[in-house]
């Protein structure tokens, strides 16, 4: 609109003042009109910025800068730079922006929505790379306002030390080298002639047995030796004889148990060795037999693979059999809380790649009747953090619902040790949640924490798993059949009748 038209508007609507930036052709153009409540002193005006000083009754004078952003994205910075320089020239005045681009940030708290206690996504998006943003979102927020502090992640106490930084770098280097080494390592099955693999795939046996052989040769099975090589802290010695490292070769051919099986089998035709063969030696040995008598070799290999499979299964049955001790109570079951006390079972799950986490909480009364069941998706960086977050959520929910007497059960001994001993310093990633729980305890008339076996906490576990596939917190309807059945089973002492 041209200046003349604004003059008309000004007169008709009784505005006392008017400043117009004329359009260029059909584009741009700005107008600012004001009435007699204020006095305006126009300091500068152009197509992007109108800068004014305002004086109003009962109010100290202030500056207002009206901005019309540049439609060309790459020129927008120029506009903001100009505003900054205009503000910078005004001594004694503090710059205040309503635009997030130059949002005044001085502490972590500025990135937190104080009302909702959540991270401000708009600011995180503006200031951080996606990978950093993801890491930030995984930091849980305390319910209480806290001082900013620096935390060094690699150490549990969060305090930086040169030694730990050095150790971290060495560890990173080792991991890098190990990754390179394993990718260039000659795999066992490369050592076995191709012809043998053809025979193996062709033998008449169950597909799972063929797959078993393939995994065994490929070092993909969890033998003592295999696990120890993958840095799992276990004893790599054969659990059956206790004399040798449990390699596949030992397990299948050398161990006294296996030798007895081969001896007692009807197998007449197999590779002969003077000492215990390694797996690939044994398999390569079949090549000779196939050249002599293909039919017999094929039949024998099928039988032999079956024997290998059963030796492996027998080994697993032994390894995974529950340890029996005279004090263990086979009929341990979820216990009802006393009358007037609510029991909360809490659990957390974290996917292997740590990309998703979930919390589960269920409240039940003294009759075992479910009062509330929650699945809460949650950014987690460790299971301990998750367990603490689940307990924190349970405590908040109980307080919100007006429950003053609470029993809290979970299956993390570590968490229990931190809750029972206020002087123990938790790992930094879980410290905020644990501090919250310690503070919330004071709001209850009575509260107790108990660590229970995992299978007695299966409903909370199920709820936490459900949280992995949902977007926001779910308060499950109490009539939902699967939940009802789970609770019924637990309340009647039958804890093993269901599996997720
Ligand atoms: Zn053995």
CA–centroid distance, residue 259 to ligand 1 (Å): 10
pLDDT at 346: 96
List Cβ<8 Å contacts ≥24 apart for 4-10: 6/31, 6/33, 9/33
The pLDDT tens digits of the residues spanning 337-348 come to 888 899 999 999
Q: Hey, what CATH class is 342-491 in?
A: alpha beta
CA distance 492 to 280: 53
CA 246–ligand 1 middle distance (angstroms): 7
Model confidence at 192, in pLDDT bands (50, 70, 90)?
low
How many angstroms does the Cα of residue 225 sit away from the middle of ligand 1?
Answer: 12
Cα 247 to averaged position of ligand 1 atoms, centre (Å): 9
Least confidently predicted of 54-68, 296-310, 355-369, 385-399? 54-68
- Spatial neighbors of 319 by CB under 8 A, at least 6 apart, are 239
Distance (Å) from CA 1 to ligand 1 centroid: 94
Could you tell me the distance, in angstroms and rounded to a whole number, from the CA of residue 254 to the centre of ligand 1?
7
Ligand 1 center to residue 81 CA distance, Å? 75
Region 373-382 average pLDDT:
90
pLDDT higher at 192 or 237: 237
* Phi then psi dihedrals of residue 445, to 5 deg: -75, -40
Q: How close is the Cα of 325 to the center of ligand 1, in Å?
A: 24
Distance 270 CA to ligand 1 centre (A): 21
| Contact in structure between 83 and 76 (CB atoms under 8 Å) | no
For the cut 60, the answer to whether the pLDDT of residue 102 exceeds it is: no
Q: Give me ligand 1 centre to Cα 12, in Å.
A: 102
Rounded distance from Cα 282 to ligand 1 centre (Å): 17
The reported pLDDT for the residue numbered 326 is: 43
Averaged pLDDT of the chain: 81
Residues 407-423: b if buried by 16+ CB within 10 A, e if exposed: bbbbbbebbbebbeeee
Q: pLDDT, tens digit, for every residue of 13-45?
A: 788 888 888 887 777 778 888 887 788 888 888
How many whole angstroms from 272 Cα to the centroid of ligand 1? Answer: 20
Copy the structure tokens of residue 152.
């060094």
Confidence of residue 183 (pLDDT cuts 50, 70, 90): low
Can you give the pLDDT at residue 95? 52
- How many angstroms separate the alpha carbon of residue 381 from the centre of ligand 1? 40
> What are the C-alpha distances in Å from 332 to residues 29, 66, 344, 455, 457?
79, 72, 18, 10, 12
What pLDDT does 500 receive? 34
223 CA → ligand 1 middle, Å = 11
Closest CA to 195 of 292, 307, 288: 288
Hey, where are the domains in the chain?
3-102, 108-137, 188-320, 342-491
Closest residue by Cα to residue 117 from 140, 87, 96:
140
Could you tell me the distance, in angstroms and rounded to a whole number, from the CA of residue 16 to the centre of ligand 1? 100
> What does the pLDDT average to over 310-332?
69
Q: Render pLDDT for 394-447 as a digit per residue (tens, 0 to 9).
A: 999 999 999 999 999 999 999 999 988 888 888 888 888 999 998 899 889 888
CA of 343 to the centre of ligand 1 (A): 47
Distance 304 CA to ligand 1 centre (A): 19
As a whole number, mean pLDDT of residues 185-203 equals 67
Position with higher pLDDT, 394 vs 125:
394
Split at pLDDT 50, 70, 90, the class of 494 is very low
> Rounded to the nearest whole angstrom, what is the distance from the C-alpha of residue 17 to the centroid of ligand 1?
98
Q: Is residue 396 within 8 Å of 143, Cβ to Cβ?
A: yes
How far apart are the CA of 252 and the centre of ligand 1, in A?
9
- The Å distance, Cα 248 to ligand 1 centre, comes to 10
Distance of CA 192 from the midpoint of ligand 1 (Å): 24
User: What is the band of 168 on the pLDDT scale with cuts at 50, 70, 90?
Assistant: confident
Other beta carbons less than 10 A from residue 30's beta carbon: 18
Distance 195 CA to ligand 1 centre (A): 30
Q: Is the pLDDT of residue 498 over 60?
A: no
- Give the pLDDT confidence of 446-488 residue by residue, as tens digits: 889 998 888 889 899 999 999 998 888 999 988 888 888 888 7
Query: Residue 299 C-alpha to ligand 1 middle, in angstroms?
Result: 27
pLDDT, position 477? 86
Distance 234 CA to ligand 1 centre (A): 16
Distance 314 CA to ligand 1 centre (A): 12
pLDDT for residue 348:
95
**317 alpha carbon – ligand 1 mean position (Å):** 15
Cα–ligand 1 centroid distance for 307 (angstroms): 16
CA 230 / ligand 1 centre spacing (Å): 20
Beta-carbon contacts of residue 391 (< 8 Å; ≥ 6 apart): 344, 346, 408, 410, 415, 419, 433, 437, 449
Neighbours of 113 (CB within 10 A): 13
pLDDT reported for residue 345: 96
* Lowest-confidence region among 134-143, 306-315, 371-380, 487-496: 487-496
> What is the pLDDT at residue 322?
64
Report the pLDDT value the prediction gives residue 85, as an integer from 0 to 100.
Answer: 78
Supply the pTM of this predicted model.
0.46
How remote is the CA of residue 249 from the centroid of ligand 1, in Å? 10
Between the ranges 192-201, 326-335, 472-481, where is the mean pLDDT highest? 472-481
Instruction: State the distance from the centre of ligand 1 to the C-alpha of 245, rounded, in angstroms.
Output: 8
Cβ count near 128 (within 10 Å): 15
Sign of CA dihedral 146, 152, 156, 157: negative
């Amino acid at each position: 609109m041209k200046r003349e038209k604004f003059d008309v508007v000004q007169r008709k609507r009784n505005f006392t003042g008017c400043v117009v930036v004329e359009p260029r052709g059909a584009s741009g153009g700005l107008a600012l009109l004001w009435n007699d409540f204020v006095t305006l002193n126009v300091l500068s005006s152009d197509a992007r910025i109108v800068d004014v000083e305002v004086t109003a009754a009962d109010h100290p004078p202030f500056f207002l800068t009206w901005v019309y952003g540049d439609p060309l994205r790459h020129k927008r910075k120029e506009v903001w730079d100009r505003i900054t320089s205009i503000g910078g020239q005004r001594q004694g005045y503090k710059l205040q922006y309503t635009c997030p681009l130059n949002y005044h940030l001085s502490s972590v708290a500025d990135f937190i929505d104080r009302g909702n206690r959540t991270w401000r996504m708009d600011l995180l998006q503006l200031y951080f790379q996606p990978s950093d943003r993801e890491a930030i979102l995984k930091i849980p927020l305390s319910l209480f306002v806290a001082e900013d502090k620096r935390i060094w992640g690699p150490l549990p106490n969060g305090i930086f030390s040169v030694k730990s930084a050095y150790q971290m770098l060495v560890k990173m280097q080792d991991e890098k080298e190990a990754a390179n080494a394993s990718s260039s390592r000659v795999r066992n099955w490369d050592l076995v002639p191709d012809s043998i693999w053809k025979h193996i795939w062709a033998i008449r046996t169950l597909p799972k047995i063929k797959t078993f052989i393939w995994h065994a040769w490929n070092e993909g099975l969890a033998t003592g030796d295999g696990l120890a090589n993958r840095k799992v802290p276990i004893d790599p010695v054969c659990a059956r004889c206790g004399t040798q490292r449990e390699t596949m070769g030992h397990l299948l051919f050398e161990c006294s148990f296996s030798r007895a099986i081969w001896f007692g089998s009807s197998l007449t035709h197999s590779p002969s060795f003077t000492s215990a063969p390694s797996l690939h030696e044994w398999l390569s040995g079949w090549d000779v037999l196939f050249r002599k008598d293909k039919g017999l070799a094929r039949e024998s290999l099928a039988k032999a693979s079956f024997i290998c499979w059963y030796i492996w299964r027998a080994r697993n049955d032994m390894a995974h059999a529950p340890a029996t001790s005279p004090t263990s109570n086979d009929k341990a079951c979820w216990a009802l809380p006393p009358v007037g006390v609510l029991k909360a079972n809490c659990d957390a799950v974290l996917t292997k790649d740590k990309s998703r986490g979930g919390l589960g909480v269920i409240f039940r009364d003294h009759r075992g009747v479910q009062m509330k069941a929650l699945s809460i998706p949650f950014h987690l960086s460790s299971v301990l953090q998750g367990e603490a977050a689940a307990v924190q959520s349970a405590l908040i929910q109980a307080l919100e619902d007006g429950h003053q007497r609470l029993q809290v059960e979970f299956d993390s001994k570590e968490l229990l040790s931190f809750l029972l001993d206020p002087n123990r310093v938790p790992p930094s990633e879980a410290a905020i949640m644990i501090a919250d729980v310690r503070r919330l305890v004071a709001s209850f008339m009575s509260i107790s924490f108990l660590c229970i076996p995992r299978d007695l906490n299966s409903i909370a576990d199920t709820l936490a798993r459900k949280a992995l596939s949902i977007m926001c917190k779910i308060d499950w309807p109490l009539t939902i059949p699967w939940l009802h059945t789970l609770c019924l089973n637990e309340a009647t002492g039958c804890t093993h009748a269901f599996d997720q």
